[in-house]
Amino acid sequence: MFLHNVNPTVKALTIIGTVFLLAFVFDPVTPLLYIVWTVIVTFLFGTFKKRYYLYYFIPFTLFAFGMFWTTIVFSDTASGTTETVSFLGMEFPTEDIWTAAALGLRVLAFASLSLLFMFTTNMVHFILSLIQQLKLPPKIAYGVMAGYRFLPMLKTEFQQIRAAHRIRGVNKPDSMKEKLLQYQRFAIPLLAGAIRKAERTAIAMESKGFTGAKERTFYRPMKVQRKDWLFPVMMFGMLGVTIAVSLYFGYFSWYDGQL
């Protein structure tokens, strides 16, 4: 699929750029239109389990609603000075509703862009792209990659240790104190295993020439091709279209010291 084949560095810089521009947009219409566009692009040009996307999007939705609610409840707009809107049985100034919606939808716009990157980017390719395109020091990059690879292994070891405890008759904890003691028993073997794996990884990397030298060859060369530039053109172009639509209908607002 198209999104999976875009150079990860180009994709990351494009998303950072759109997030930066959206941070200065202060109306709810522009981010709403861009959220719809981003979700459509993600679903059409990405291959992943769609229900996982919805699971990840729910916490961001709750956070956006929390920001919306706190903005309208704790606003310092003087009562009686503006038109009001009824929301959940209470009256709020229209200006506060507009500002709260702009902040909440902006959070969801950031979330949709982040999920686009997360679900369509191979993290190993991303690290390699950072080394080759942005000249990230290999010593740091490969250390991050090794740590990223350790996470699933730690989860597996945790499950094995817990199963071993149950086989040996360790009772399931009932109180909070017993749970804390149980996790202390898990922590020691997990820490010991992590130290052994880190030491072996360091020795293996050094023996294979991972000394931190910048000039090196790569088994997987990551290049920026012409097709990669279609992604930033598409994302920035649509952002311009959404701003133009908001301007045409008189909704667009740029940040000018609001709040």
Give the chain's residues under pLDDT 50: none
**Reported pTM:** 0.80
Q: What angle do CA 143, 123, 39 make, to 5 degrees?
A: 150
CA 162/CA 33 separation, integer angstroms? 48
What pLDDT does residue 160 have?
85
What per-residue confidence (pLDDT) applies to 176? Answer: 76
pLDDT at 89: 66
Q: What is the pLDDT of residue 186?
A: 82
Q: Mean pLDDT score of the chain, rounded to an integer? A: 84
pLDDT number for residue 37? 95
How far apart CA 197 and CA 192 sit, in angstroms, is 9
Domain boundaries defined on the chain: 8-126+222-249, 138-208
Check residue 22 and give its pLDDT.
93
